[in-house]
Structures are given as structure tokens and as C-alpha cells.
Structure 1
């Protein structure tokens, strides 16, 4: 049985791994939330890895508050970069394959075509810069790694755009949603399933990959689809907004190219609308 250690297990992606773990009986997922395993604590990392002896580590632990990172750069880099460095060093010492989740925010958003793994990175906010530094540490330290950059993650778990829109619909709110950013909504359940398939197959095509659902959308497009698929479009007033004031600058275009991923792993990647509809059907199906 493959032992897989999951950090940041209380976050939405970590919960998706736990949700589908029963579909992978050949694996034992050992899930640690931040209070059980603080990845900034190198001694604790070494202790847990020594006790668990995992073959794989999926790092879902991250500082993900893009806005707060602008005013708390030290903490963002401590978790997203320095702690990742610690994790890579421990994985190297124990022979553990590290699977790390990164972000489309390593790009500046000035492109007009989907970003490839070989494109120049140029983060325009602290969050993106801290995640990029974490990537760099992994590549410097550890050969046996997968880095998956993803975008606009959502699921039925936790605080995210998907759940916020559904909550606002229940309240009958007026929603002004920006059209000034284009990316790809990505169902965290799809990403979790893809990674566990990778482990099941003991794939060793290590390196950097882009993973998101297919297609592209603005945040307005995403909100409208959520409301339409859930049958709640008539419960809110939905307006397009060309401007959305934020503390952190965001890339205006951050669609990720999946050609390398699809050619390497030969896996089906769903269009974002299809995956969203499937999640909503499963979430709201009457029992």
C-alpha cells in the first residue's frame, strides 16, 4: 500500500483528496492540517516524515490570501517559499516524491495566448512572487517532484468564489462581477483525482506542469454559469463590472496551456463548464 502524506489537509484541495480517497484503496492517505503539521517547523517536519515514512507528499499547505499577502509579505514567503524549501529538503533526505501545488499568478497577465510552462514568469503581487520562490527551491533541491500550476480553484468545500456566489444567491443579493480578468475556473476535485491517478500509476515524468480545466472565462462568466446550473439565476441581480478594486494587482489574463500535461499523461481534462455542471448536479441532487 502506498503511503501518501497530505499537508494542509483542512483546505479545500485537502478535503477533496479526503473525499475521493475511498476510490483509491491501494493508498493510505495520512492527512495533516496546519495545527498538526506546521510546515514552517523543520524539526516537526523531520519528525513526522521519520514516523510516517511516506512514498509521496502532496503539499496543499499555502498562504493563499492574495490581499493580505500584500501587507504581510514576510508570512507569505515564510509559508509559500521557505517552508517549501524545508519540505523539499526533507523529501530529498527520505526519498519521498513531492507533489506541489502552484499558481497562475506567477505570470503578469500581459499575454494574449495561454501560458506554457516555458513562458517567462513575472509575478505582479506578493502571493505570486512567494509561490514562484517555492517552485524555484523545489527545482534546486529535489529531482523527484511534480509542480502543478493551477488557477481559480473552487469546490464545495471552504471559502471560495463558487460557494460565495451560491450564498449570495440565497440572500437574493445584487452582484457586480468583474469582466476585467480572464482565466480558467478549476474544480479542485478534478485536480485531486488527477494527482491520485498519477500516484496510482507510479508515474515518474517529473517536472513542472500546468493543470486547470479547459476553456477560459471572466469572473462574470463563471458567476453566471454557477447561477444558471444551480437554477438560481432568477434569485439575484447580476451585473457586469469592468473594474474591481483590490489591494493586490491581479493578472488580467492567466489562462494556462495544458498541452504538455495532456501529451505526457494522456488524461482527460474536462472543460470548466462541464466540470462545474457535474459538481452542481451532484451537490444538489435530491436523495
Structure 2
């Protein structure tokens, strides 16, 4: 019975004029940006599934739901991303980030679909002092990083022809993120403290979405792990200072050590990603972090004024 089903899926794909792409996490930051870019894209037939349409914690029904759409390519952008909360909800984080990802990878292997999955800089321990390449040693410090790392391993086991993109410090005009939180707090408070000993580079979700669309349109599939964040290097403190200056706030920001701001989950002190491989392989553009932040804040201001 399964062989017949696989044959049906294969035949239906060969008669299509456009690749059928399914995006998980459609209401998240990256999913929302992908929706904006792909919704009217004539080259693809696209389906966007949110957490209600694809409840990843219910791993037993994932194959059936995916089978309803018969995708040629799955962009797996959904994840459990509440880093601190994951420390007290390890089973849920494990189900969504590891087990559900494993189910999706197994579906792709069974039905000949391609998988492009999003992972995180939190698979690293932060002990490096040089930009991290894709083959750098992994050693997650927290539950979130561990479950995402196990998700990566499941993909490589079941669907080794997949593309995995690790990213970091994601922000957007959509959802909750550091930039939007800072914009609000900088306007509400006279003083803020922000850690200055965690180093990396932020990722504007729209830039990552554009890179993914470029990869899809290139028509060349090169499996493997890739890194993507915006160019440049900075701390969370540097990031906050720049946000303040761009919005014209006067709040006093004090740099502090991570040890002065304890959180349930440990963070890597250094997680700057080396983007050479993705630029070389797919010829994608990686904007400088300040340019992207400026663009995002301008959009945010425009949305506020429109409302």
C-alpha cells in the first residue's frame, strides 16, 4: 500500500508545472517574511501552515498532514524558540524541535521531497574567538540549543540531501524580538542595562527570506549545513545603542556582564557565524547589519504612522 502511495505522489509531481512548496511556521518572523515574498510568486505553488494547521507537538499526525499537500519542497521554519521557557518545558521543546523535525525528514525521504530547515547559532557553546564555520564543533549550552541540534542530526540521518541554514539573533517587523522590545523599552524608560559580553551578528528575517527564495529560484540544490546572519560583529549592548540612536530616544543604556543578568538558559558568549559558504555556493547577498536594521526600523515607523 505504501509503495502505491509513493508512486502516486511521484506521478503527481511529474505532471506539475510549478514546484509545490510548503512552509511551516507561517506566522513566525521568517515564515511571515517568506509569505510576503512568495505569496504572489508565480514560479511556485505555495502553502503556508501555522501551528494550528500543523501542530508539531502532535508528532503522530505530521505525515498525514504533509501528505494532504504533497509538497515538492518543505521549508521548515517552525520551532519552539522560547529559549528560557524551554528550560522548564524540555519535553515540549524536544517534541517540536527534534521529534517533529525527524518526522518531517522521514516524510521527505519516503516521498522524495526536498527539505530546507532552519537551525540556530545556539548549537555552539560560545567558546570560539573566530567566526564559526559550518564544521565547527557543536556543544549546546541549553535545552533549546540541544533540541535544535538533535533536529539537525535527525535531518542528516533521514534526509541527508537536505539544506540546513543556521541563523542567529533574528528580528523582524513581525512577532516578538529584541529590536521591537528595545524600541518599546527605550521609549518607556529612562535607564536600561544590556549585556555587552555576548558577541554575534543579528539577522533581519527579511534578508534571510530573500536568501531562501534566491536558493529556490536558482534551481540548483546543494545539500549541507550553511550559516546566515547579517554581516558585521557586535554585542547586544552595541545593538541596543544603535536602536536607540536610530529612533531618537534619550534612554541611558548601561553595559553589563552576562553574570549580572542571570537567565534560566545559558547563552553562548560568542556565536558570530561565518557566511562564506552560503555566499560562495548560492551567490546570495548578505547585507550589513546596520543597513538592515535601519530598513526594518523605517518599516516599523511606517506601520505605526499608518495605524
Shorter-chain-normalised TM-score: which range?
Answer: over 0.9
Alignment of 1:20 with 2:33, yes or no, is no
Pairwise CA distance, 1:42: 4.2
CA gap 1:173/1:8 in 2 versus in 1, 3 angstroms: farther
Task: String of CA shifts for 1:135-185, please: whole Å, max 9, x gaps.
Answer: 000001113311000000000111110110111123234211110211111
Counterpart CA distance in 1 for 2:203 and 2:40 is 21
Structure 1 residue 221 displacement after superposition: 0.7
Contact 1:49 1:94 in 2 (8 A): no
Task: Please state if 1:73 is matched with 2:94.
Answer: no
The number of residues matched between the two structures is 285
Q: Which runs of 5+ in 2 are unaligned?
A: 1-17
1:183 maps to what in 2? 200
Pairing 1:154-193 to 2, within 5 Å after superposition: 154-193=171-210
CA distance in 2, matches of 1:84, 1:249: 23
Deviation digits for residues 219-264 of structure 1 (CA, Å, limit 9, x no counterpart): 01111111222233x2x22221223211111110000111111111
Structure-2 separation of matches of 1:5 and 1:230:
37
> 1:118 and 1:43 mapped to 2: Cα distance?
32
CA RMSD of superposed structures (Å): 1.6
Stretch of structure 1 that moved more, 165-174 or 51-60: 165-174
Secondary structure of the structure 2 residue equivalent to 1:93: helix
Question: For residues 272 and 10 of structure 1, what CA distance do their matches in structure 2 show?
Answer: 24
Q: Counterpart of 1:66 in 2: which secondary structure?
A: coil
Q: Note if 1:237 corresponds to 2:252.
A: yes
The alpha carbon displacement at 1:188 in A equals 0.6
Call closer, same or farther: CA 1:24–1:118 in 2, change over 3 Å.
same
Looking at structure 1, the residues matched to 131 and 280 of structure 2 have their Cα atoms a distance apart, in angstroms, of: 16
The yes-or-no answer on 1:104 pairing with 2:109 is: no
Q: Considering only CA atoms, is the larger Rg found in Structure 1 or Structure 2?
A: 2
Matched residue, 1:6? 23
1:221 aligns with 2:245: no
1:182–1:217 Cα contact (<8 Å) kept: yes
Distance 2:155 2:50 in 1: 21
Task: Say which is worse superposed, 46-55 or 215-224, in terms of deviation.
Answer: 46-55
| Structure 1 alignment gaps of length 5 or more | none
Secondary structure at the counterpart of residue 42 of structure 2: coil
